Amino acid sequence: MGRVALVTGGSRGIGEAISKALNAKGYSVAATYAGNDQKAAAFTEETGIKTYKWNVADYDASAAGIARVTEEIGAIDTVVANAGITRDAPFHRMTPAQWNEVVDTNLTGVFNTVHPVWPGMRERKFGRVIVISSVNGQKGQFGQVNYAATKAGDLGIVKSLAQEGARAGITANAICPGYIATEMVMAIDESIRQKIISGIPAGRLGTPEEIARCVTFLASEDSGFISGSTISANGAQFFS
Ligand code: CAA
């Protein structure tokens, strides 16, 4: 049976690798993006995966977008809440705007993405909810009070959803990537990044594909008894 997967932030970075990996496993994939039309068009041209533009921070836009995906591709049974942003600053310089943007996108965005698909999953008695959290939600990070709070919040979301979804055949799990070679990590000042890498026992950044493989594992039919869990993929940087 063909499964339909929604990947938010699915045309770039870790999300791009997730969309491609699910597509390669036979899922019909809808990848959302927020702003970069050019990259999204190139991604569709390369992969054949359809992209949809909406802001995950906006509930009505998410619900309308999900209704469109359902109509055009089919009922969504696998949702990967991946879209996320950083607005790093030491707490004493962090502005309310930096706090709100990150909370609205990374945390409320997960609610906005999962809530509209949840009733259908309950009705069909199958669902896979996978939230991309972060090592920094587990350990905290200098300069990321906002981001770490949202990524820790993701873990609360999946542990609660796991309990609510269990009887309906829905699993909910989180993946906590460590530092992965994406634009987000490459945007960190070079000297700070090198210091971070020197603190990773594996001695390197992770790859987006290494995270995508965690997703395909959790998404599979065979992973039905794994729920409320967290996979840490961080090169042994941190153990929770
Ligand atoms: N621990 C303790 N002190 C630290 C520190 C740390 N980790 N990082 C910086 N400091 C200190 C600095 O040494 C400096 O001290 P002095 O003034 O005494 O020299 C002071 O804090 C200010 O540091 P900066 O000069 O770096 O300050 P800044 O305002 O220019 O930059 C910052 C602040 C933007 C937070 C910058 O430090 C930074 O980018 N840090 C990296 C944050 C990070 O890891 N972000 C992850 C992004 S990727 C991601 O989020 C994906 C994922 O899930 C992993």
pLDDT of residue 240: 85
pLDDT of residue 1: 55
Kindly name the residue from 27, 33, 52, 147 that is annotated as catalytic. 147
3-state secondary structure of 16: helix
Indicate the pairing of strand 78-81 with strand 127-132.
parallel
Q: Is 147 a catalytic residue?
A: yes
Q: What residues contact 92, with CB distance under 8 A and at least 6 apart?
A: none
pLDDT of residue 78: 98
**Which atom of ligand 1 sits closest to the CA of residue 93?**
29
Site to substitute for ligand 1 among 105, 107, 142, 197, most atoms within 8 A of C-beta: 142
As beta bridge partners, residue 162 has: none
**Cα gap 94→218, rounded to integer Å:** 35
pLDDT digits (tens, 9 = 90+) for 49-100: 999 999 999 999 999 999 999 999 999 999 999 999 999 999 999 999 999 9
**Cα gap 4→26, rounded to integer Å:** 9
**Which atom of ligand 1 sits closest to the CA of residue 196?**
44
Each of the 240 residues of the chain gets a pLDDT tens digit; together they read: 589 999 999 999 999 999 999 999 999 999 999 998 999 999 999 999 999 999 999 999 999 999 999 999 999 999 999 999 999 999 999 999 999 999 999 999 999 999 999 999 999 999 999 999 999 999 999 999 999 999 999 999 999 999 999 999 999 999 999 999 999 999 999 999 999 999 999 999 999 999 999 999 999 999 999 999 999 999 999 998
Residue 141 CA to ligand 1 centre (angstroms)? 8
pLDDT of residue 173: 98
Indicate the pairing of strand 78-81 with strand 4-7.
parallel
Our CA dihedral for 35, 41, 43, 47, rounded to 10 degrees, sits at 140
Q: What residues contact 112, with CB distance under 8 A and at least 6 apart?
A: 56, 57, 58, 59, 62, 63
**Which atom of ligand 1 sits closest to the CA of residue 142?**
7
Residue 139 CA to ligand 1 centre (angstroms)? 15
Residue 196 CA to ligand 1 centre (angstroms)? 10
Helix (H) or strand (E) holding 198: helix 190-198
- Compute φ and ψ for 57, nearest 5 degrees: -75, -10
Residues with CB under 6 A from ligand 1: 86, 88-90, 134-136, 141-144, 147, 179, 184-185, 188-189, 192, 196
